[in-house]
Amino acid sequence: MTQTTLPDLSHLWMPFTANREFKEHPRLLVEAKGMYYTAHDGQKVLDATAGLWCVNAGHGREEIVEAISRQTRTLDYAPSFQIGHKDSFLAAKAVSEVMPETIDRIFFTNSGSEAVDTALKMAIAYHRARGEAQRTRLIGRERGYHGVGFGGISVGGISNNRRNFSGMLLPHVDHLPHTHNLEKNAFTRGQPEWGAHLAEALENIVALHDPSTIAAVVVEPMAGSTGVLIPPKGYLEKLREITEKYGILLIFDEVITAFGRLGYKTASEMLGITPDIITLAKGISNAAVPAGAVAVRREIHDEVMAASASGIEFFHGYTYSAHPLATAAIRATLDIYKKDQLFERARDLSPYMEEAVHQLKGSPHVIDIRNLGLVAGIELEPRPGAAGARAQELFQRCFDKGVLTRYTGDTIAISPPLIVTKEEIDLIFDTIKAELQNID
């Protein structure tokens, strides 16, 4: 194995990382192709997490590399304020064709965090445009993850993300209860039967605050970063019913679930529920270039446009919105999904992965297994006084054996690229099963 000399690690402040522990035992990736990374020590590592839920078409796709390279040579940057470039409009049309019907107005961002903050602003702007400026309240959910902007962590419900910034979060925010219940739903395959009634908590929040003050409800159809929480049957349908009843916008945060992760274009398509706004990122560009977007129901866009007689209608945007390299990557990525039928492939593989992960039932420390599409969560019993330590150790042991997993709390999350084979699925869960035997 060819080894790469480690660089000086002291200057980089790493995100969502135990920096001191990492720099004592670094894990550096130096190459990626197909389903595999190469680590700095030359070891091949099977990517069981699609990077961070995002490399859906596999690593190093030549079509995307060529599209980015060609764009760099032709147009490396174009401002997006008061001017545009052709590829941005072509990319917006391509994204709209993947979204549910009528959700066909696209605003480009650079990440999921930016997409969420943009969507929240759009919701408030829409109600103001309709003459309901009092609708400023936002409703998130406990254990929800909506990125790390102040808007996203305000509507989000992960305590560690909020704790240090609690004095600076948005006012007028409330939260629905989460849907995770081990007593009722442990080891469910797919969507659990129990829990639809939890959506009725929205009626209590509406009664408390007055529906005429509420702008939007934002939820992940399937919550990923908090530990793979699967929506109970009927739960999201009930949220849609209540929001429509009171004129509240429903935002689906599909940063993880869009672009084939669940075997469909979007979770909205899979579940047959159409929200008003969908936030996107990750798989939109196969992570080759940072990119995100907000897909908006046409009526929302048109109301905001019509509210201004002239000039700028929506005072919001980013220097790198619709960056030429990002739009080139987006178009090439969407072409691959279609050409290789990756969404359909993921749908066909989902039952096989479900069987593979549920074979871990009865393994040491496993207290729950959850799955939907090409996503699986394996929850471990926490060590007394050391929450997360057991999952962290399993993550490290699997990496040392050549399989990259992800841990969040005491849950191991698996979300391989959509090009994964049955043999690679077997390798992922065989490795996890073997290493569970070695953990106290």
From first to last of its 440 residues, the chain has per-residue pLDDT tens of 667 789 999 999 999 999 999 999 999 999 999 999 999 999 999 999 999 999 999 999 999 999 999 999 999 999 999 999 999 999 999 999 999 999 999 999 999 999 999 999 999 999 999 999 999 999 999 999 999 999 999 999 999 999 999 899 999 999 999 999 999 999 999 999 999 999 999 999 999 999 999 999 999 999 999 999 999 999 999 999 999 999 999 999 999 999 999 999 999 999 999 999 999 999 999 999 999 999 999 999 999 999 988 999 999 999 999 999 999 999 999 999 999 999 999 999 999 999 999 999 999 999 999 999 999 999 999 999 999 999 999 999 999 999 999 999 999 999 999 999 999 999 999 999 999 999 99
Residue 4 maps to a domain: no
Q: In the listed set 301, 322, 339, which residue is the last one of a domain according to the structure?
A: 339
- Judged by DSSP in three states, 3 sits in coil
Q: Are 103 and 35 contained in the same domain?
A: no
Residue 135 maps to a domain: yes
Q: What are phi and psi of 174, to 5 degrees?
A: -130, 170
Residue-level pLDDT at 274: 98
Residue-level pLDDT at 5: 87
Residue 14 maps to a domain: no
Q: Are 228 and 92 contained in the same domain?
A: yes
Q: What is the DSSP letter of 311?
A: S
CB 276 within 8 A of CB 249: yes
Residue-level pLDDT at 97: 98
Q: Are 47 and 71 contained in the same domain?
A: no
Q: In the listed set 303, 322, 339, which residue is the last one of a domain according to the structure?
A: 339
Q: Are 189 and 330 contained in the same domain?
A: yes
**Amino acid at site 198:** L
- Cα–Cα distances (Å) from 366 to 170, 357, 380, 414, in that order, read 38, 11, 5, 15
Residue-level pLDDT at 153: 97
Q: Are 105 and 34 contained in the same domain?
A: no
CB 194 within 8 A of CB 181: yes
Q: Are 256 and 292 contained in the same domain?
A: yes
Q: Are 137 and 169 contained in the same domain?
A: yes
Which range of residues forms the domain containing residue 185? Answer: 65-339
Residue-level pLDDT at 309: 87
Task: State the alpha helices, DSSP H only, in 156-217.
Answer: 159-162, 182-185, 201-209
What's the residue count for the chain?
440
Residue-level pLDDT at 4: 79
How far apart CA 150 and CA 117 sit, in angstroms, is: 8
How far apart CA 316 and CA 215 sit, in angstroms, is: 18
What is the C-alpha R_g of the chain? 22
Residue-level pLDDT at 390: 97
CB 259 within 8 A of CB 345: no
Q: Are 417 and 379 contained in the same domain?
A: yes
Q: In the listed set 320, 339, 358, which residue is the last one of a domain according to the structure?
A: 339
| pTM over cut 0.85 | yes
The CATH number of whichever domain residue 253 belongs to comes to: 3.40.640.10
Question: What does the block give as tokens for 388?
Answer: 């997360």
Which residues contact residue 291 at a Cβ distance below 8 angstroms, ignoring those fewer than 6 apart? 108, 109, 110, 111, 281, 284, 285, 323, 326, 327, 329, 330
Q: Are 321 and 378 contained in the same domain?
A: no
Question: What does the block give as tokens for 434?
Answer: 């073997």
Query: What's the structural domain count of the chain?
Result: 2
